[in-house]
Amino acid sequence: MSEARPLRSRAWFDNPDNIDMTALYLERYLNFGLSLDELQSGRPIIGIAQSGSDLSPCNRHHLVLAERVREGIREMGGVVLEFPVHPIQETGKRPTAGLDRNLSYLGLVEVLYGYPLDGVVLTIGCDKTTPAALMAAATVNIPAIALSVGPMLNGWHKGERTGSGTIVWKARQQLAAGEIDKADFIRLVASSAPSTGYCNTMGTATTMNSLTEALGMSLPGSAAIPAPYRDRQECAYHSGKRIVEMVHEDLKPSDILTRDAFHNAIRVNSAIGGSTNAPIHLAAIARHAGVELPLTDWQEVGHDVPLLVNLQPAGEYLGEDFYRAGGVPAVVSQLMSAGLIHEDARTVNGRTIGDNCAHAVIEDEAVIRRLEQPLRPRAGFIVLSGNLFNSAIMKTSVISDEFRARYLSDSNDPDAFEGPVVVFDGPEDYHARIDDPSLGITARTLLFMRGAGPIGYPGAAEVVNMRPPAHLITQGITALPCIGDGRQSGTSGSPSILNASPEAAAGGMLALLRTGDHVRIDIGRGTANILVPDDEIAKRRDALEASGGYRYPPSQTPWQQIQRERVGQLETGAILEGAEAFQRIAQEQGIPRDNH
Ligand code: FES
Ligand code: MG
């Protein structure tokens, strides 16, 4: 092992040219029992970025796993400094957890850059904790390894698997149709969360943890291990050992987060049936890594990739099944057999993804299909554009046969549908009016949600998927086309058109849409257009501008206000915008100045 560059931590703890400050930096880190020998013997100082807490139950098990991480770091001669990162609990934080991703990112950048850390173990899990950590690691570019907390055990109710999140959408329909009462509703939903860990479905958490592995930022085979399994503890230990070696090898995020790695992740996302939040978060990570990754790559690189993983919401199974069937390496090896993986992409273990996954096998073909027998032949996202928005995405793997038969069966144009729209301004408006008969919602209606983007609903809310009115559900119509400028939970199986950019609050065309307008969606051509004459649109635009623009609720915290002033749109990752160098500023600046 050779040291490619001096350890950053020595600028704090062992700088013979500045003994005044060295003494100051040392004395307080000695005060809880560290020794001079540990801090001055050239051992790497390794941070554990602790994302678990009582406020973030999905990641809370990291408090336990960190003990094994410490043992691994110690065993390889590193010194551990564990610190908290801003909590982000997807199901707890209001108004959105999305709001906190960039805040957590900012906080982590300051810590990684401003403290004596040579490398870091990123403890990831719940939806936004993963991109926040990877964005920060990419920005500061010190050796970093991600450790997933792992999914919860499978949920069960009356002999059937209940998947977190996914069961909520089903239970809401049952409640709306009067099939269950409120107590049943809560029992059913709670059954899906039987242990520590994150969502056991292929929601945004399983997606982002799988894509972290596909990017090469976590150990091979690590993403799918359920949180309570002993293998998860072992993985924590190995991750701790490995980060010390990575520091000695100077293996940095910039060596791993290449364009090839992102394209591998996009293809894996299609094969696993990953979340529609993935394009947002991968765009955000790529921009902080300085990698070109336009949204159109998702369709060009990812659309023709088959769906192999049979997990809810697109399929039947849950996290434990995915792990037992072989997890991410089994999926990657299938994709490799069709030449769909850039095998030379490096990973945190120092080897390539091709080497890591070459011998991975599927252990259960009901859960992970072989490439020749996919669940669907093309499972990636399609990117739509038109006069309604610059871009929006649709997850084709969740289009049900029933939905396809109802909307995509016109023999003249089998990939297109059009109809009258009903427009809602935020979820409160939707909840208040969805069952109102005067809206005249039929099976041909398209539901629109606006005011739900990064500015309008700060952070962008997961509110675009809307259940049909109760009278349609009782007739067996469980999904209408939903379109909006917000996001959708990765645990939802609705074939919605999401992440529309620009949002209404940023002056997007959605702000001009009115209930009763007709909209045409053409999935084959990738277009979405409002069928209203241009002069009428111009009139509406003038009227909206004269009235002061699209209205949304005022900011409630300083951060909401700051983020609204700086945030970009979902298509470009919804990151804080600034001059180009702003995304990666810490890398250019070396070690910060002394503080006294
Ligand atoms: Fe945390 Fe789903 S709510 S992972
Ligand atoms: Mg969510």
465 CA distance to ligand 1 middle (Å) = 17
Residue with tokens 């990117």: 383
Structure tokens at 130: 């993963």
Instruction: Work out the end-to-end distance of the chain between its first and last CA atoms, rounded to an integer number of angstroms.
Output: 35
- Nearest-atom index, ligand 1, CA of 490: 2
Structure tokens at 435: 């069952």
- Nearest-atom index, ligand 1, CA of 203: 2
283 CA distance to ligand 1 middle (Å) = 20
Mean pLDDT across the stretch 36-41? 94
43 CA distance to ligand 2 middle (Å) = 40
Q: What is the pLDDT of residue 4?
A: 53
- Say if residues 550 and 504 touch (Cβ distance below 8 Å): yes
CB of 199 sitting under 6 A from ligand 1? yes
The Cα 120–Cα 132 span in angstroms is 14
Q: What is the pLDDT of residue 2?
A: 44
Radius of gyration, alpha carbons of the chain = 24
Strands 416-425 and 518-522: antiparallel
Mutation test residue for ligand 1: of 51, 55, 56, 58, the one with most atoms within 8 Å of CB: 58
Average pLDDT, the chain: 94
487 CA distance to ligand 2 middle (Å) = 9
Count of alpha carbons within 13 angstroms of residue 329, beta-carbon side: 21
Ranking 282-286, 472-476, 510-514, 563-567 by mean pLDDT, the lowest is: 472-476
- Nearest-atom index, ligand 1, CA of 56: 1
Ligand approaching nearest to the C-alpha of 164: 1
Q: Name the band, by pLDDT with cuts 50, 70 and 90, for residue 413.
A: confident
416 CA distance to ligand 1 middle (Å) = 34
Mean pLDDT across the stretch 482-509? 91
399 CA distance to ligand 1 middle (Å) = 23
91 CA distance to ligand 2 middle (Å) = 7
CB of 90 sitting under 6 A from ligand 1? yes
The Cα 205–Cα 147 span in angstroms is 13
Chain segment 211-254, per-residue pLDDT in tens: 999 999 999 999 999 999 999 999 999 999 999 999 999 999 99
Q: What is the pLDDT of residue 336?
A: 98
Chain segment 331-375, per-residue pLDDT in tens: 999 999 999 999 999 999 999 999 999 999 999 999 999 999 999
The Cα 75–Cα 506 span in angstroms is 52
Chain segment 377-410, per-residue pLDDT in tens: 999 999 999 999 999 999 877 787 888 888 877 7
Mean pLDDT across the stretch 152-157? 97
Ranking 157-166, 257-266, 559-568 by mean pLDDT, the lowest is: 157-166
The Cα 251–Cα 217 span in angstroms is 11
Chain segment 480-490, per-residue pLDDT in tens: 999 999 999 87
492 CA distance to ligand 2 middle (Å) = 9
Mutation test residue for ligand 1: of 124, 164, 189, 208, the one with most atoms within 8 Å of CB: 164
According to DSSP, the residues that pair with 449 across neighbouring strands are: 424, 484
Among protein residues, the one with the nearest Cα to ligand 1's atom 1 is 126
- Nearest-atom index, ligand 1, CA of 206: 4
Count of alpha carbons within 13 angstroms of residue 316, beta-carbon side: 7
CB of 52 sitting under 6 A from ligand 1? no
Among protein residues, the one with the nearest Cα to ligand 1's atom 2 is 199
CB of 322 sitting under 6 A from ligand 1? no
Mean pLDDT across the stretch 452-479? 93
Chain segment 73-113, per-residue pLDDT in tens: 999 999 999 999 999 999 999 999 999 999 999 999 999 99
Chain segment 274-322, per-residue pLDDT in tens: 999 999 999 999 999 999 999 999 999 999 999 999 999 889 999 999 9
59 CA distance to ligand 1 middle (Å) = 9
Residue with tokens 């010390």: 244
What percent of the chain stands above pLDDT 90?
87
The Cα 382–Cα 367 span in angstroms is 25
CB of 484 sitting under 6 A from ligand 1? no
CB of 118 sitting under 6 A from ligand 1? no
Q: What is the pLDDT of residue 280?
A: 98
79 CA distance to ligand 1 middle (Å) = 31
Cα–Cα distances (Å) from 18 to 21, 293, 312, 589, in that order, read 6, 43, 58, 20
205 CA distance to ligand 1 middle (Å) = 6
Which helix (H) or strand (E) segment is 267 a member of? helix 259-272
CB of 126 sitting under 6 A from ligand 1? yes
How many CB atoms are closer than 10 A to CB 533? 8
What percent of the chain stands above pLDDT 70?
99
Cα–Cα distances (Å) from 114 to 110, 134, 252, 444, in that order, read 6, 17, 18, 56
CB of 462 sitting under 6 A from ligand 1? no
350 CA distance to ligand 1 middle (Å) = 30
User: SS in 3 state form for 535-549?
Assistant: HHHHHHHHHHHHCCC
- Nearest-atom index, ligand 1, CA of 165: 2
Q: What is the pLDDT of residue 406?
A: 81
Q: Which residues of 114-134 are buried (b: 16+ CB within 10 A; e: fewer)?
A: ebbbbbbbbbbbbbbbbbbbb
Going through 154-258 in order, the beta strands assigned E by DSSP cover: 155-157, 160-162
Q: What is the pLDDT of residue 407?
A: 80
* Degrees to nearest 5, angle at CA 373 with 370 and 376: 110
The Cα 355–Cα 216 span in angstroms is 12
The Cα 351–Cα 304 span in angstroms is 28
- Say if residues 451 and 488 touch (Cβ distance below 8 Å): no
Mean pLDDT across the stretch 417-426? 95
Mutation test residue for ligand 1: of 93, 198, 491, the one with most atoms within 8 Å of CB: 198
Mean pLDDT across the stretch 115-134? 98
Mean pLDDT across the stretch 459-463? 96
CB of 58 sitting under 6 A from ligand 1? yes
Structure tokens at 462: 């997961």
So what's the ipTM on this one? 0.94
- Say if residues 276 and 207 touch (Cβ distance below 8 Å): no
Q: What is the pLDDT of residue 49?
A: 99
Ligand approaching nearest to the C-alpha of 199: 1
- Nearest-atom index, ligand 1, CA of 127: 4
Three-class SS of residue 345? Answer: coil
Q: What is the pLDDT of residue 1?
A: 41
Which of 510, 503, 544, 545 has the alpha carbon at shortest distance from 530?
A: 510
> Residue 16: is the preceding peptide bond cis (ω within 30°)?
no
Q: Flag whether pLDDT at 3 surpasses 50.
A: no
Chain segment 537-585, per-residue pLDDT in tens: 999 999 999 999 999 999 999 999 999 999 999 999 999 998 777 777 7
127 CA distance to ligand 2 middle (Å) = 7
- Say if residues 592 and 114 touch (Cβ distance below 8 Å): yes
Mean pLDDT across the stretch 469-497? 89
Chain segment 401-412, per-residue pLDDT in tens: 888 888 877 767
The Cα 116–Cα 114 span in angstroms is 7
Q: Name the band, by pLDDT with cuts 50, 70 and 90, for residue 170.
A: confident
Following CA atoms 452, 454, 460, 465 in sequence, which dihedral angle do they give, to the nearest 10 degrees?
A: 40
The Cα 466–Cα 480 span in angstroms is 8
Which of 58, 45, 184 has the alpha carbon at shortest distance from 111?
A: 45
Q: Sign of torsion, CA 495 501 503 508?
A: negative
Ligand approaching nearest to the C-alpha of 489: 2
Mutation test residue for ligand 1: of 51, 104, 124, 199, the one with most atoms within 8 Å of CB: 199
Three-class SS of residue 558? Answer: helix
